[in-house]
Structure 1
Amino acid sequence: MMKQNLGDQSRYRLNCAGAMLDLSARPAIMGIVNLTPDSFFDGGSYGSAGEAVQLERALESAMAMARAGAEIIDVGGESTRPGSAPVSAEEEIRRTIPFIELLRRQSDVLISIDTWKSEVAAKALRAGVNIVNDISGFSFDPKMPGVCARHHCGVVLMHTPAKPDALRWSYNTSAETEEVMNRVTTFLSRSIAIAREHGIESIIVDPGLGFGKTVEENYRLLARLDELHKLGCPVLAGISRKSFLGQAIRRTGEETPPPSERLLATISANTIALMNGADILRVHDVDAAIQARAVVLATRRASD
């Protein structure tokens, strides 16, 4: 079983806007709450397009995730699926901030905001968020590093080659010729350098599985996830119900299974990610991820 060499343990104990996230003993589970009408799996779960977010239903879901054992709740107000239409910062704020304020009043669970917009991040941090989950790795909004630094929050820096509306589903080809691990580590190294130039130390990296990669490239990253620890930061894996899983389980002559039929594949992939060194799993199905983590940790203890 692969197990990352933690090296400097302090890099796995993160101060996230005054709350500690300790990844040195075991991986953490990040539960997803998408307050969007169009996310690929759970879009519309808490209100359709044009409707106000149904706060109580979203809160019930988040609290259930926290009770199940999720250490982080990741809140999103804009879909990042390939080809998704962008929304304004004002609309993201309208969707997310009332919910964040309500969740913070009800729970001490760590909260992350899934946004690449500094204006949204600033309001979310003032509302009680601990972590900014930036799919652009600080490459879309030059003001984002300064906002994160001022609030002393944790950051997730993800690799993506373009904004979501410019990405397209791609299963067979890639516009990039450089080997995918080199591409991802070069990008993330730049992101980390920007963060540290601004005095940000609580850094998590995410290879961006499903974002502008071919199916083969996604599985190559999953197999080599532990190599990302060379960057000196904890590693997040966001695999939950993504399309490259559907491609693997598709039966010959049949359509690719939709996200609703990818839970078993997700559990398998999450288990592989943990065995290959993931420090955080970002998931829709917290109970399943908790059980996968328990089995991996039990196996790890038995093999020590």
Structure 2
Amino acid sequence: MKSVTDKPDQYLINCSGVTLDLRKAPVVMGIVNVTPDSFYDGGMFVQKKDKPDYDRALNHALQLIRSGATIIDIGGESSRPGAEPIPTEEEIRRTVPLIGMLRKKTDALISIDTWKSEVAEAAIRAGAQLVNDISGFTFDADLPEICRKYQAAVILMHTPTKPQSMQWSTGTSSTSNDIITTVTAYLQRSILTARHHGINDIIIDPGFGFGKTVEENYRLLGAMNKLQKLQRPLLAGVSRKSFLGHVIAEPRQPTPPPSERLSATLAAETIALLNGASIIRAHDVKAAMQTIAVVMASRAASA
């Protein structure tokens, strides 16, 4: 078993002047979506006429931090399959006031879940320190320069297409395309783009559920450790996603909704941790923290 110091310097992430140390143990990123249509928590923090409920969202974020979240990931545009894009101004309206409120209440790291450079800049100015880009720097050519300008850390994810063109995780995959090779090559290009712009603080995300069949998601989950050759911390975002529902469905019964996928989520998070994940992106922070504790105890006992 590798010691803490065996992990490379890339596991020390500079987030706009604050260090995220991923050498010793995995951490949890808590999810707060200020959207009316996200697949699990859509509308949870939205009032009538799509007005964000900032106070409720703030209290939820603070509760996630009390439960152990190291990072709070705030999103203002749904990235679920089929989701329609929203104007930049609306995304800023949903997220930036909440980020400012949260920054006044906590020193926890704040991430903005966006692929838009204008949203990212407004969020960073309000207090965000990481940019979580589902496109891996492929949707907005101006985003890398914004991240470099403010020394924000970046999370670069694999996705083959924009959400409005994406399908839910269904069916089985063809053996003609190897998902591990595809994701690895895509993330390699994303890392090169970041490095070209002088960005070295990079986390990678294979993009579970984004334009992948059920079979491809499980193949990726089981072989996630192969992405460690990219020498960047790995983030696993499997929380309550549809590919989990497909395998826990009762015969001849509908796929269980996201609210009934917690046990499957914890199983998938365990597999991800055993395959090298350094960050678990979760709706259920306390449960994810307990999952990490069990995995770490097992590693320590067998060392």
TM-score range, shorter chain: over 0.9
Equivalent positions of 1:248-267 (< 5 A) are 248-267=247-266
Q: Indicate the larger mover: 13-22 or 41-50.
A: 41-50
Match of 2:74 in 1: 75
Identify if the C-alpha distance between structure 1 residues 4 and 114 changes in structure 2 by more than 3 Å, giving closer, same or farther. Answer: farther
- How well do the aligned residues superpose, as a CA RMSD in angstroms? 1.6
Identify if the C-alpha distance between structure 1 residues 163 and 139 changes in structure 2 by more than 3 Å, giving closer, same or farther. Answer: same
Deviation, structure 1 residue 50:
2.6
- Opposite residue 35 of structure 1, the aligned amino acid is V
Equivalent positions of 1:1-150 (< 5 A) are 8-48=7-47, 50-150=49-149
Equivalent positions of 1:150-229 (< 5 A) are 150-174=149-173, 177-229=176-228
SS in 1 for 2:273: helix
* TM norm structure 1: 0.96
Match of 2:241 in 1: 242
* Structure 2: distance between partners of 1:24 and 1:63: 25
* Structure 1: distance between partners of 2:172 and 2:221: 18
What is the number of residues matched between the two proteins?
A: 303
SS in 2 for 1:66: helix
- Opposite residue 208 of structure 2, the aligned amino acid is L
SS in 2 for 1:73: strand
* Structure 1: distance between partners of 2:220 and 2:232: 16
* TM norm structure 2: 0.97
Q: In the alignment, is the contact (CA less than 8 A) between 1:4 and 1:226 conserved in 2?
A: no
* Structure 1: distance between partners of 2:207 and 2:56: 29
- Opposite residue 135 of structure 1, the aligned amino acid is I
Q: Which consecutive residues of structure 2, in runs of 5 or more, have no partner in the other structure?
A: none
* Structure 2: distance between partners of 1:175 and 1:165: 23
Deviation, structure 1 residue 177:
3.8
Identify if the C-alpha distance between structure 1 residues 239 and 4 changes in structure 2 by more than 3 Å, giving closer, same or farther. Answer: farther
Q: Indicate the larger mover: 6-15 or 259-268.
A: 6-15
Deviation, structure 1 residue 174:
4.9
* Structure 2: distance between partners of 1:260 and 1:173: 24
Deviation, structure 1 residue 15:
0.5
Q: In the alignment, is the contact (CA less than 8 A) between 1:3 and 1:275 conserved in 2?
A: no
* Structure 2: distance between partners of 1:277 and 1:5: 13
- Opposite residue 220 of structure 2, the aligned amino acid is L
SS in 2 for 1:279: strand
Match of 2:284 in 1: 285
Match of 1:269 in 2: 268
- Opposite residue 188 of structure 1, the aligned amino acid is L
Q: Which consecutive residues of structure 1, in runs of 5 or more, have no partner in the other structure?
A: none
Match of 1:303 in 2: 302
Deviation, structure 1 residue 85:
0.8
* Structure 1: distance between partners of 2:265 and 2:80: 17
Percent sequence identity is: 56
Deviation, structure 1 residue 272:
1.1
* Structure 1: distance between partners of 2:272 and 2:3: 12
Q: In the alignment, is the contact (CA less than 8 A) between 1:4 and 1:277 conserved in 2?
A: no
Identify if the C-alpha distance between structure 1 residues 69 and 141 changes in structure 2 by more than 3 Å, giving closer, same or farther. Answer: same
* Structure 2: distance between partners of 1:47 and 1:3: 45
- Opposite residue 128 of structure 2, the aligned amino acid is V
* Structure 2: distance between partners of 1:88 and 1:63: 28
* Structure 2: distance between partners of 1:171 and 1:177: 17
Q: Deviations over 1:212-244 (max 9, x none)?
A: 111111011111111111011000000000000
- Opposite residue 105 of structure 1, the aligned amino acid is K
SS in 1 for 2:228: helix
Q: Deviations over 1:94-114 (max 9, x none)?
A: 000000000000000000000
